[in-house]
Amino acid sequence: MQQVAAFVWAMCDVWSRLMIQYVNLAPESTSGIFFSGRAAIINSYLQALVSGLQAGRRTLKSPSAVRFVPLSLGLAAVVAIYIVMAIALVPPGQPRQFNFVDERGAITALSAIFLAIGCGFGSATFLLSAGSSRAVRLYWMVVSAALGFVALDELLEFHERIGDRLDRLDLLGLTSSKTIRGWNDVIVILYGVIAVVFGLLLLPTVLRYLSFLRLIGVAVACFVVHTAIDTLTEPPTLVSVIVEESAKLYCSLFIAIACLAGLMVHAGMSSTAEAGQDSSKA
């Protein structure tokens, strides 16, 4: 327990240092309504949240933001049909859940495609953000790199392979003592924790893309369902496997749509800024 507490404390210290870098404040800064350095950092962070939220609300009024509701519903319906087909169409000699449990199955393939599409949209937004702030460029670089890695993980089974090796090593004795079912689950949960940490760190930037944030919220809910079923259901059943992997597929879908929304919002911001420059020159 002491090691866990030390690790958490170290992570908090790293987070605070990153916050210092993000808001361009020295640790001993006394600016803001508070007089301690860390309180000033928090104050600046909250001010950045408010500024980002105000900018994000303006983007919600754009026609492209409204169109994502029917687009999301339509694609969700298409994916539901795809899931039904994955249940019905199984290779000869394979169990009914083949497309859901086998990495060669239809669910993993489409999930990887959605993640790759999201990576492409994120990369496009990063390229378009050349004239934006450092935080915006950093955010879209992290998003595109993370989605590229997760898409490869879907196909090449990084976390499964690493988890199996750690299970054989019985690291910290957690597997043999039944504290965890397997390191595979721990790694998947760790992905989510890392995403939350970066999300909190760059939240002022994320709030500028409220359409993106709303769709990511749906994706996070699907990820929680997927992880909860995967972790708590033992042994897995046919129904639990189908629901779990379907939730994963919907998570990938809404990540891709969210990145498209971010691209559209950023393109709208860029065009508005260019229009403003042209009018000022005129």
Look up residue 79 and give its two tokens. 């994916």
Residue 35 has pLDDT above 50, yes or no: no
Q: Which two tokens stand for residue 29?
A: 């800064």
Q: What is the pLDDT of residue 49?
A: 67
The confidence band for 22, taking pLDDT boundaries of 50, 70 and 90, is very low
Does residue 179 have a pLDDT over 60? yes
The mean predicted confidence, pLDDT, of the chain is 77
* CA–CA dist 73, 36 (Å, integer): 48
Q: What percent of the chain has pLDDT over 90?
A: 29
- Specify the 3-state DSSP secondary structure of 198: helix
Q: Is the model's pLDDT at 30 over the cut of 60? A: no
In degrees and rounded to multiples of 5, residue 95 shows phi and psi of -70, 165
The tens digit of pLDDT for each residue in 240-262 reads: 999 999 999 999 999 999 999 88
Q: Is the model's pLDDT at 187 over the cut of 70?
A: yes
Measure the CA–CA gap between 39 and 46, rounded to whole angstroms. 10
pLDDT digits (tens, 9 = 90+) for 38-81: 666 677 766 666 666 666 566 656 655 667 888 999 999 999 99
Q: Which of 13-27, 48-62, 70-84, 143-157 has the lowest mean pLDDT?
A: 13-27
Under the banding of pLDDT at 50, 70 and 90, the label for residue 234 is confident
Whether this model's pTM surpasses 0.85: no
| Residue, of 272 and 257, whose pLDDT is higher | 257
Rank 4-8, 73-77, 159-163 by mean pLDDT and report only the highest. 73-77
Cα–Cα distance for residue pair 189/98, rounded to 1 Å: 24
- What amino acid occupies position 163? G
When comparing pLDDT for 184 and 4, which is higher? Answer: 184
Asked whether the predicted pLDDT for residue 153 surpasses 60, the reply is yes
Cis peptide before 27, with omega less than 30 degrees from 0? no
pLDDT, average across residues 218-244: 88
Higher pLDDT, 92 or 179: 92
Residue 180 scores a pLDDT above 60: yes
CA 108 to chain centre: 17
What is residue 89's DSSP assignment? -
Stretch 184-206: mean pLDDT = 81
What percent of the chain has pLDDT above 70? Answer: 70
Cβ 216 vs Cβ 234: under 8 Å: no
Distances 180 to 92, 169, 232 between C-alpha atoms, Å: 35, 14, 10
Least confident of 32-41, 68-77, 215-224: 32-41
Those residues with Cβ within 8 angstroms of residue 131's Cβ, 6 or more apart along the chain or in another chain: 270
Q: What is the average pLDDT across 16-39?
A: 45
